[in-house]
Amino acid sequence: MSLPQGFIDEMRLLLGEETDNFLIAMQRPPVVSVRLNPRKPGASFPEGTPVKWCEEGHYLPTRPDFTLDPLLHAGAYYVQDASSMIYFEVTRRLLSLMGNPEKISVLDLCAAPGGKTTAMIDALPDGSKVTANEYVAKRVHILRENLSRWGYPDVAAVNRDTSAFPREGNVYDIVAVDAPCSGEGMMRKDAQAREQWSEDLVEKCAALQREILANASATVRPGGFLIYSTCTFNRKENEENVRYVAEELGLEPVDLNFPEDWGIARGIKTPYPVYRFMPHVTEGEGLFLAVFRNPGEEESNRPETVRKASVKFHKDRTKEKDKDTVPEIDEILSVDFDRSRFPIIELSREEALQYLRRESLVLPEGTPRGIVMMAYKGLLLGPAKNIGSRANNLYPKNRRILKRE
């Protein structure tokens, strides 16, 4: 793998004597890691080792064929880089700083594909409202699908420019900006990140990030928090933008005091408490992280956190009695789906993969006619309609898998 020479030169200036170890690490294969869904227990990876900063995170010794695991499609786990799992721990610590409220409102401004959003969700108390925004329209479908699988009911995927959110006011307890960036931290596993890199790209990304951060800062309630992250290494997109938020936008950097044995590096040439996940020190891809607090006077009685954009994916049909009405897939995968509404048919792995490929099914003798739910290891996959001799597979066409053993 060949890294851009301009990038190497910049890293030598940035890291000094650490550069050789960094470059060696950048030539190693990426690590494989997964994060279990605490609201959908069922998956296990006994061969895995724990991720220090995420209690549901596990490193795997090899990369399984995740596509052929029905539990992935049921939302039992998320395949995610370990560095990004820090969003779980950050959210947990921010809730503690807030006094562990019963529920909060969260806005993820740059959410696709959804890994960091779901990591935050895992730390949230039930009833918290989450708005997951993605500016790039073609990426919204994968965000929506991943959130749907995760099953948290009080989340919405929206497609808006970040400039639209300040009009709602400063109403969110936690706002996350995992900003579009030059992608230096992804170079060892993404050829496009290596090919597209240039000093001009770094400058353009830094300017865009400041625009997004200005919009984000206007949505954080007094006493609330802003999380900023990138998957890049340079100071322009990282430490210099932290200075911008602190000195020009007026938010206060927050020191989260991560344990030293986690191996998370501090910032470079900055007085502010920021964090760097460096591949020659931590197991994971490159990530930069900073957290800020809106220093305004905290409201003693926060408004109800149900925002206009934060609605469930699906209509509430739990009170319907019509057994012939097919629920939407988002409703079925939600953890608050009423499992008593329809018969549930447990499938073997082979049958589950057949179902996920949208192939025809023959259900067990005695299965009631009409709408039934397909499940694997107790977790719902989607609907089918039993017509007696066979079942019509109602798994969504746009979600079917094509891969075979």
Check whether domain 329-399 has CATH 3.10.450.720, yes or no: yes
Per-residue pLDDT at 322: 62
Q: What pLDDT does residue 194 have?
A: 95
Please give the pLDDT value at position 297: 75
pLDDT in tens, 24-36: 999 999 999 999 9
pLDDT of 299 reads 63
Residues of the chain whose pLDDT is less than 70? 299-323
Listed by start position, the domains of the chain span 85-293, 329-399
Report pLDDT for 306. 40
The DSSP string of 114-141 is -HHHHHHHHHSPTT-EEEEE-SSGGGHH
List active site positions: 231
Its CATH architecture, for the domain 85-293, is 3-Layer(aba) Sandwich (3.40)
pTM score, two decimals? 0.94
Q: What is the pLDDT of residues 186-202, one digit of tens each?
A: 999 999 999 999 999 99
376 closest CA partner among 396, 340, 352, 356: 352
Backbone angles phi, psi at 217, to 5 degrees: -60, -30
Measured distance CA(374)–CA(189) in Å, rounded: 36
The two beta strands, 370-376 and 344-346, are parallel
Please give the pLDDT value at position 309. Answer: 38
Query: To the nearest whole number, what is the mean pLDDT of the chain?
Result: 93
Residue 189 in tokens: 């596993």
Backbone angles phi, psi at 369, to 5 degrees: -70, 155
> What local confidence, expressed as pLDDT, does residue 318 receive?
47
